[in-house]
Amino acid sequence: MTKTIDLTLSVTESPQALARHAAKIFVERCHDAIAQRGEYNVALSGGRTPTLFFETLALSQFCSGIPWEKVNFYWVDERCVGPDDQQSNYRLAKEELLHKVSATHFYRMKGEINSQDAADEYESLLRRHFQLSEGEIPRFDFMLLGMGSDGHTASLFPGYDGIEITNRLVTDQYIREMEAWRVTLTLPVLNNARACVFLIQGKEKHEVLTKALNLLSDRTLPAQRVQPHNGKLYWIVDQDAYTG
């Protein structure tokens, strides 16, 4: 059986160009989603590269044409900290984007409560908002992803069972190396998105990026297993990450 992946690889000259390219895709897909379905459902990640993307998207040349009242913001994953903590993915998006534009609909993962309760609560929220029946999976219009130097994406890490979970939309996981709990969307949710957009920058990501983009290799990295079955996969990388 042949599996076709709708994949686009874009190599940009700088992190700034990477952020601008991602912002253009965000805006284009926003207009398409609203024209077709009346709303735009987005899932955000945290980290260094999304910070520049958030700052760029908040610029008037990008944000002015977006009907923000029709954009719903969710999160791909969250650290188990409070919403005002420096490590919070929610805080990052709030400070660099959401409070700079007219966004009014955002639904954070509650990192300050017990991680299992936070996962259960967020799964219930997704089921309500997306009006899901038993066994159905939410379909995000735009999912922002990154990749760690170990190949993890969202909070799905190599060597942990979270990447294998198929009967949940959201799960919690204790990451031993970080001595920390995380809450994350599961792989079936990622792979049901209309668009998954990886943003990768920096020389330190070159080795893992080379492996992740090798479609003929065994899919040992969580990031390699993100292959939307009915959507678009974007890898947007800067020159340093691509060439080392």
Give pTM, 2 decimals: 0.96
**Per-residue confidence (pLDDT) for residue 217, from 0 to 100:** 77
| 4 pLDDT higher than 80 | no
Q: Give the model's confidence band at 48: pLDDT under 50 very low, under 70 low, under 90 confident, else very high.
A: confident
Helices marked H in the chain: 15-37, 48-57, 60-63, 89-93, 115-129, 187-190, 206-212, 239-243
Q: Which residues make Cβ contacts (< 8 Å) with residue 109, sequence separation at least 6?
A: 75, 77, 78, 89, 90, 118, 122, 170, 183
Three-state secondary structure call for residue 87 = coil
Q: Is residue 133 over pLDDT 70? A: yes
Residues shown for the chain? 244
pLDDT (0 to 100) of residue 109: 98
Tell me the CATH architecture of domain 6-243. Answer: 3-Layer(aba) Sandwich (3.40)
Q: Which positions ≥6 away from 102 have C-beta within 8 Å?
A: 68, 69
Whole-number Å distance between alpha carbons of 181 and 114: 9
Contact between 236 and 147 under an 8 Å Cβ cutoff? The reply is no
Q: 3-state class of 11 per DSSP? A: strand
